[in-house]
Chains A and B, each alone.
Chain A
Amino acid sequence: MTNTRLSIHLYTFMEPTNINKIIKVGAIFQGGNIAPKWFHYDNKKYEIKEVNYRWEDWEGQEKILLFSVTDGANNYEISFNLKRMVWKLEKTCITL
Chain B
Amino acid sequence: MHNVMNRTILHLDMNSFFAAVEQAANPFLRGKPIIVGGGISKTSVVAACSYEAKLKGIKNAMPSWEAKKICPEVIIVPGDMAKYVTTSKAIMKYLTRYTELVEVFSIDEAWLDITETKHRFGGELAIAQEIKKWIRERFGLTCNIGVAWNKLMAKFAGELKKPDALIVLRPEDIPDKVKDVPVEKLCGVGRKLETYLAELGVKTFGELNAFPREKLVDRFGIACGEHLWYMGQGRDDSPVLPYWHEEEAKSVGHSYTLPRFTRDIAEVKGYLLRLSESVGRRMRREKYRGNVVHLSLGFGDFEYWGKQRKIADYINDGYDVYKVGESILDEYIGGSDRPFRFVGISVSSLIHNLDQISIFEKVENNKKVLKAVDEINDRYGEFTVERAAIMKTVLQKKTGMVTSGLYKRF
Chain A positions within 8 Å of B, measured between CB atoms, are 12-16, 50, 52-61, 66, 68, 70, 74-75, 93-96
Contact = CB atoms under 8 A, between A and B. Distances in A.
Nearest to B81: A57
Determine chain A's interface SS by DSSP, over half rule: strand
A55 B82 contact: yes
Given A55-B83, A55-B86, A59-B381, A14 B25 contact: no
- Chain B interface extent, by class: 20 to 34
Given A52-B24, A53-B25, A70-B27, A12 B76 contact: yes
A66 B87 CA distance: 12
B378 A14 contact: no
A55 B80 CA distance: 11
A52 B381 CA distance: 27
Contacts of B139: 53
A19 B378 CA distance: 26
B373 interface: no
Nearest to B382: A60
B27 A14 contact: no
B370 interface: no
A60 to B, nearest CB: 4
Contacts of A55: 82-83, 86-87
A76 B21 CA distance: 15
Contact of B78 (A15, A50, A52, A74): A15
Given A13-B39, A70-B26, 18 more contacts: A12-B76, A13-B75, A14-B34, A14-B75, A14-B76, A15-B78, A52-B25, A53-B21, A55-B86, A57-B82, A59-B381, A60-B377, A60-B381, A74-B28, A75-B25, A75-B28, A95-B26, A96-B75
Given A13-B39, A56-B82, A60-B378, A68 B73 contact: no
B25 A68 contact: yes
A14 B379 CA distance: 33
Contacts of A14: 29, 34, 75-78
A96 B75 CA distance: 9
A16 B73 CA distance: 17
Contact of A58 (B28, B75, B87, B381): B381
A52 B82 contact: no
A79 B77 CA distance: 20
B40 A13 contact: yes
B293 interface: no
B379 A61 contact: yes
B74 interface: yes
Nearest to A15: B78
A56 B86 contact: yes
Nearest to A94: B28
Nearest to B83: A55
Contact of B82 (A60, A66, A70, A96): A66
Nearest to A67: B25
Interface centre among B21, B74, B75 (most CB of A within 10 A): B75
Nearest to B377: A60
29 contacts: A12-B73, A12-B75, A13-B76, A14-B75, A14-B76, A14-B77, A14-B78, A15-B39, A50-B27, A52-B24, A52-B27, A53-B24, A53-B83, A53-B139, A55-B83, A55-B87, A56-B82, A57-B82, A58-B381, A59-B380, A60-B384, A66-B82, A70-B26, A75-B25, A75-B26, A75-B27, A95-B26, A95-B75, A96-B75
Nearest to A72: B27
Nearest to B33: A12
Contacts of B27: 50, 52, 70, 75
A95 B379 contact: no
B28 A95 contact: yes
Interface centre among A13, A56, A75 (most CB of B within 10 A): A13
